[in-house]
Amino acid sequence: MNSSFNKLLTFKTLITASMIIVFSINILLIERVDALSDSKQLVLDAWTLVNEGFYDPEKFEEIQWKRIRQKTLQKQIETTEEAYSAIEDMLRPLEDPYTRILRPKDYELLKSSNFGSEINGVGIQLGEDDDKKVKVISTLGGSPAEEAGIVSGDFIVKVDGISSKEIGLANTASKLRGASGTKVLVEISSESGEIREVDLERRSVDLRPVRTKRLRDDSHTIGYLRITQFSESVPKKVEEALQELKEKEVEGLILDLRNNSGGLVSSGIAVADSLLSEKPVVETKNRNGIKDAIISQKETSFDGPMVTLVNKGTASASEILAGSLQDNKRSILMGEKTYGKGLIQSLKSLGEDSGIAITVASYLTPEGNNIQGKGMTPDKLLDLPDTSEYGSADDKWVKNAELFLESLLEKEKLSLQNSELSNEGIKP
């Protein structure tokens, strides 16, 4: 009896001790969570957002993503800047330059370019090649970079003496930005390997995302529509531009997407919706697989013949638009091979002033083509020098598109005349 009682007492004592230990551990864990500094919380928030949204979760297993979080939070992170640096280190193993931390000034600038009408800087859109070299996707019209002769395909070697390859895409872009009137020294390498330095003065650049005019000759009237980027306001501006061109009775349309490096994917899709009738626009592939294609509405803003101009600075959302027009046989593409950015980013707020861009999906053209790293090949290649002012009288690319459209219109006119003659020959 005493033996049984003693065993029971010992068991209760062990249970009580275990409960005390568990309770103590829980208290310690709660204290650790509560004691997480603001800087470390910023790191944890960034990790969580990427963990929930990144398009390729298989990559997490490959790089031991949870272990990276654990090791990062063990570091001494006391300031916001240290948190940003820790997040950069944490994201590096993903090997995706487009998933990146955006410090306050970069976050504000990106939001401004997506929703506003002007930005401050030198006017360069950047990407990375397979060797992690920072590459110029395009330059903005009227920007300091364009005026200095920087072109799509050039490489940014150094910014103020600092190697771009060492600091990466995001930090290179950040160093090029700054207040109007300040200067930045940039070392450029051409695709052929020629090195030169340019001293750029930052300034406000008017984006003017939609530009239009009418081209006339003795027999036809053609509309010219240039879209420089896809910001929030673009779909409405395009609708207004197409309506204006229709009122001027244009018979065909030249859509100019040269050096349009993208922007809001939703804006690119909305423009495609204005030009396609009940056709697939794009398919997206996120971490859960391929989603059904987005189908355009029945009503269009312009249904006449089209030519779309593209070049190696045509990227991302503009490639979605160009790919939908090409695959649906709505417009031929004319120019040169496009850049090949087939990844879609989502922009998330992080803390009060900063943000994080996360690659959440890849996209496929209506015929299932993945253009990431490949680009799209035009129906008609143009081996002509680019002009310094798109859409000007000296723009040979536009002249070629104009001549092609005129030949299409002449064929349509001849076909209609033949059809009328045939109908006249039918007797009741």
Query: With the CA atoms of 145, 266, 334 and 238 taken in that order, what torsion angle do they form, in degrees rounded to the nearest 10?
Result: -90
* pLDDT mean over 283-292: 89
Tokens of 404: 């092609």
Task: Output b/e per residue, 300-325; b: 16+ Cβ within 10 A.
Answer: bbbebbbbbbbbbbbbbbbbbbbbbb
Position 105 confidence tier, pLDDT thresholds 50, 70, 90? confident
Position 127 confidence tier, pLDDT thresholds 50, 70, 90? confident
Tokens of 148: 């200095």
Residue (of 317, 313, 336, 322) closest to 382 by Cα position: 336
Give the pTM: 0.80
pLDDT of residue 417: 65
Position 420 confidence tier, pLDDT thresholds 50, 70, 90? low
Residue 158 contacts residue 187 (beta carbons within 8 Å): yes
DSSP collapsed to 3 states, the chain? CHHHHHHHHHHHHHHHHHHHHHHHHHHHHHHHHHCCCHHHHHHHHHHHHHHHHCCCCHHHHHHCHHHHHHHHHCCCCCCHHHHHHHHHHHHHHHCCCCCEEECHHHHHHHHHHHHCCEEEECCEEEEECCCCCEEEEEECCCCHHHHCCCCCCCEEEEECCEEHHHHHHHHHHHHHCCCCCCEEEEEEECCCCCEEEEEEECEEEECCCEEEEEEECCCCEEEEEEECCECCCHHHHHHHHHHHHHHCCCCEEEEECCCCCCECHHHHHHHHHHHCCCCEEEEEEECCEECCCEECCCCCCCCCCEEEEECCCCCCHHHHHHHHHHHCCCCEEEECCCCCCCEEEEEEEECCCEEEEEEEEEEECCCCCCCCCCCCCCCEECCCCCCCCCCCCCCHHHHHHHHHHHHHHHHHHHHHHHHHHHHHCCCC
Residue (of 341, 337, 331, 332) closest to 311 by Cα position: 337
Does 333 score more than 50 pLDDT? yes
Which residue is listed with tokens 């939001």?
Answer: 111
Distances 217 to 214, 222, 305, 387 between C-alpha atoms, Å? 10, 9, 17, 21
Active site residues: 316, 327, 341
pLDDT of residue 44: 96
Which residue is listed with tokens 């963990």?
Answer: 51
Question: How many Cα atoms sit within 13 Å of 220 on the Cβ side?
Answer: 19
pLDDT of residue 119: 58
Residue 169 contacts residue 197 (beta carbons within 8 Å): no
Q: Which amino acid type is present at position 156? A: I
Per-residue pLDDT tens digits for 163-193? 998 888 878 888 888 888 999 999 999 988 8
Does 394 score more than 80 pLDDT? yes
Per-residue pLDDT tens digits for 336-393? 999 999 999 999 999 778 999 999 999 999 999 999 999 999 999 999 887 767 888 8
Does 108 score more than 90 pLDDT? no
Question: Exposure of 153 by Cβ count < 10 A (0-12 exposed, 13-18 middle, 19+ buried)?
Answer: middle
Does 107 score more than 90 pLDDT? no
pLDDT of residue 277: 96
- Residue 13, sorted as left (phi over 0), alpha (psi -120 to 50) or beta, turns out to be alpha
Q: Which amino acid type is present at position 378? A: P
Residue 177 contacts residue 202 (beta carbons within 8 Å): yes
